[in-house]
Chains A and B, each alone.
Chain A
Amino acid sequence: MVAEEGRKLYLKIDATDRMKQLMTEYYIDAKGAEGTDRPICWITSGGPVEFLIAMDVIPIYPENHGAMCGASKMGVQLAEVAEGLGFSGDLCSYARLDIGSAITHGGPIGGLPRPDFLLCCNNICGTVQKWYEELARYFEVPMFLMDTPFIHKTTYEHATEYVRKQCLELVAFLEEQTGREFSLERFAEVAMLSVEGIELWKEVLKTAEHRPSPLTCFDAFIHMALIVTLRGTPEVVEYYRLLKGEMEKRIENGISAVPEEKHRLIWDNIPIWFEMRNLGQLFARNNTCLVADTYTTAWAIDIKIDDPLTSMADAYTGIYLNISIDLMFEKLLALIERFSADGVVMHSNRSCKPYSLGQYDLARMVTERTGKPVLMIEADMTDSRAYSEAQVRDRVEAFIESFP
């Protein structure tokens, strides 16, 4: 049954203003650095940004920018530019719209500042490697590839060593590019701040264990921007402290994110950026809170301070998209249990093959093991041409109607 709209379906999080301010400052600063002697590096979302921060290099995340373009509903027009150049419509839409934006300076902020070099880590997918090679050709800048072996069952010492050695090569690469010297001390400091930010972020997400939950995964998708782009800086630590405080206040005052939380679900895969608002309201209207997701927790990695390079190598190798289905299943099960979820919503994302391949197996495994239902919705994170609102609304409502 659908909730009467007595209370607003969406409660604004006050901290959002501060986050927007930080993100705006970050982009203004980065755009201002273009053409100056302050180096800019484009980096993949799973890349080890701590090295860049420690070397005072400005990190730029095309994927975060892609999400922004998607949320501003500009994804299609930018993707079409790339398609016009011959890039396949089956290529990840982040790659397509990033290429489109690089060429046209299109998007909500008029494109990204030109990179001086690129850092690509293939722990999220193989697509990024080809995409960054394309960028390297287009901008005529060097690219560093960090190769992280896929984890089938467990990590091996030689694999960790392989990645750790690449961290050292990365340091040499950065020293050469910037003409600056790497300081392990400064790096440890950044890693420490990164850990602190990550810990706080985990605690923010943990508040959703409370019933009713003070936040939904749709909130988490927005508020993750800082942990992705600026972890390792003091601002991030300060911000998540603020956000955590606000969530704890909500719990204290009995305020829930969804007016009447009856059902709790887990979200799997990247958000559908252009549809977040509608989806959030659709679930809220049906008294359902998406309490956790496999996406924002991907940034909840562990880095140990005593041996930052080795633990960095392990952390970046072990992220969600670089592990087997069996290991993903364990993580998903843990989320279902920890957040007392009644089921799972899987976004089968046309763009993101590593995230979407195997979802039907995962879904079956979840239902077999827990008896909990899984809903599959087909979409794309930024390409709205692959989305049918009426069909998704139908599936979501029918799914929720089937709950006891």
Chain B
Amino acid sequence: MTVAGVDIGSNTAKAVIMDNGDILATSLIMTGHQSRLAGRRALDLALREAGLEEGDIALIVATGYGRLTTDFTDQKVTEITCHAKGAHSVQPEARTVIDLGGQDSKVIAVGENGKVVDFVMNDKCAAGTGRFLEVMAAALEIELDNMGEVSLESESPASISSVCTVFAESEVVSRVAEGTNKMDIVAGIHQAIASRIYAMTVRVPFKEKVIMTGGVARNIGVVRALEKRLETSLVVPEMPQHMGALGAAIIAEERAGA
């Protein structure tokens, strides 16, 4: 049986097509301003890659912020449940999921069965999210994708004490003006994120293993800073951004089979 999971986030839309537990195809596109269309396009792309038509799909589950605006999906599940599911499938021993996406960050405690035990999300604040990193990259005039590598070279991370995006940005600007190395500033930014996320992990029953998902997991600098702060190593799956869509596809499989 073939099913699909579509995850429409604030930044990117992802789709995963599965057939009896195997991933047939995945896709990832920018969401843009019309989340409904983005979900549709992500699904079409994945279908094309798999060489399938929509009629071949038994059940489609949507997740992510844009899930409610879709009309082509059969069921809708929150990304918290889906991320837990997806992360559990790639790492069954994971008991904590740290998901840093474009617009929010969350820490999810997962049970042995992949179900959500507890979770915390950042409140209306961009600190610790992909958006935060984007703003910082712009302030430093470096490529977002290079931030991770750049920061690893730092030996004395600058102190960025504020966790507020706006304040942190002006702190970064003044560090630049003071002549601080870019790599030290970037490393400092990653430390600021790590301390913010650490504060969230103490609010859930935090257990090892810890898996990191979401776009920010692609930033090796943040991963290392978090590992240091949490004093544990993090599992980063091959496709961290697709964990929500994967979880949605697994839920689709469970429900279609039931």
Show the binding face of A for B, using Cβ within 8 Å: 2, 360, 367, 373, 376, 378, 386, 388, 390-391, 393-395, 397-398, 401-402
Contact = CB atoms under 8 A, between A and B. Distances in A.
Contacts of A397: 78
Contacts of A388: 124
Interface of B: 65, 68, 76-81, 104, 115-121, 123-124, 203
B65 A394 contact: yes
Contact of A398 (B65, B68, B116, B124): B116
B81 A398 contact: yes
A378 B104 CA distance: 14
A401 B81 CA distance: 7
B104 A402 contact: no
Contact of A401 (B78, B104, B120): B78
Contact of A391 (B77, B104, B116): B104
Given A360-B203, A391-B104, A394-B79, A402 B116 contact: yes
Contacts of A401: 77-78, 80-81, 116
A393 B64 CA distance: 11
A391 B78 contact: no
Nearest to B108: A398
Contacts of B115: 402
Contacts of B118: 367, 373, 402
Given A378-B123, A398-B79, A398-B80, 7 more contacts: A373-B118, A391-B123, A394-B65, A394-B78, A394-B80, A398-B116, A401-B116
B70 to A, nearest CB: 14
12 contacts: A2-B76, A373-B117, A391-B104, A394-B121, A397-B78, A398-B78, A398-B116, A398-B119, A401-B80, A401-B116, A402-B115, A402-B119
Contacts of B79: 394, 398
Contacts of A378: 123-124
A390 B68 CA distance: 10
Nearest to B251: A401
A402 B68 CA distance: 19
Given A378-B123, A401-B116, A390 B65 contact: yes
Nearest to A393: B68
Contacts of B80: 394-395, 398, 401
Contacts of B116: 398, 401-402
Contacts of B123: 378, 391
Nearest to B255: A1
A346 to B, nearest CB: 12
Given A397-B78, A398-B80, A391 B124 contact: yes
B155 to A, nearest CB: 37
Contacts of A395: 80, 119, 121
A367 B204 CA distance: 11
B120 to A, nearest CB: 7
Contacts of A402: 81, 115-119
B132 to A, nearest CB: 16
A398 B79 CA distance: 8
A393 B121 CA distance: 12
Nearest to B76: A2
A388 B119 CA distance: 18
Contacts of B81: 398, 401-402
Contacts of B78: 394, 397-398, 401
B71 to A, nearest CB: 15
Instruction: Name, among A373, A393, A395, A398, the residue most crowded by chain B CB atoms within 10 Å (CB to CB).
Output: A398
B82 to A, nearest CB: 9
Contacts of B76: 2
B121 A391 contact: yes
